[in-house]
Amino acid sequence: MTISARLPSAQEARLLEMSTSAPVFVKESLDCSGHIPIKFGENVLCAPRISFRFDFKEISSAEQSLAGKSRSGKAQPSKSKSSISSKV
């Protein structure tokens, strides 16, 4: 997963109901099966409405428990205007 910051496009700003001069975070993720990419996702998040908290002990523990298991699930629709998503 990567997270970067940039200014939104006009369409992103309209969908997020924000100014084009306010920054957005862009979160990109890539799911693989072995070494084969199977899903790419991009979320555009309105930066002033978002905060991140990373607990690396929890991340490490979760990765260990998922080792060898398939990761499947469906994205849940967001009811807020804090983010927009696209999957390819």
Question: Are 26 and 4 a contacting pair, CB within 8 Å?
Answer: yes
The per-residue pLDDT for range 20-43, each reduced to its tens digit, is 999 999 999 999 998 899 999 999
Could you tell me the pTM of the whole model? 0.62
pLDDT tens for the chain, 88 residues long, are: 899 999 999 999 999 999 999 999 999 999 999 889 999 999 999 999 988 888 787 767 777 776 655 544 444 444 456 666 665 4
For the domain made up of 2-65+80-87, the CATH class stated in words is alpha beta
- Domain limits, the chain: 2-65+80-87
Extract the tokens encoding 7. Answer: 């200014």
Determine if residue 25 is left, alpha or beta; phi over 0 gives left, psi from -120 to 50 gives alpha, anything else beta. Answer: beta
Task: Report d(CA 67, CA 65) in Å as an integer.
Answer: 6
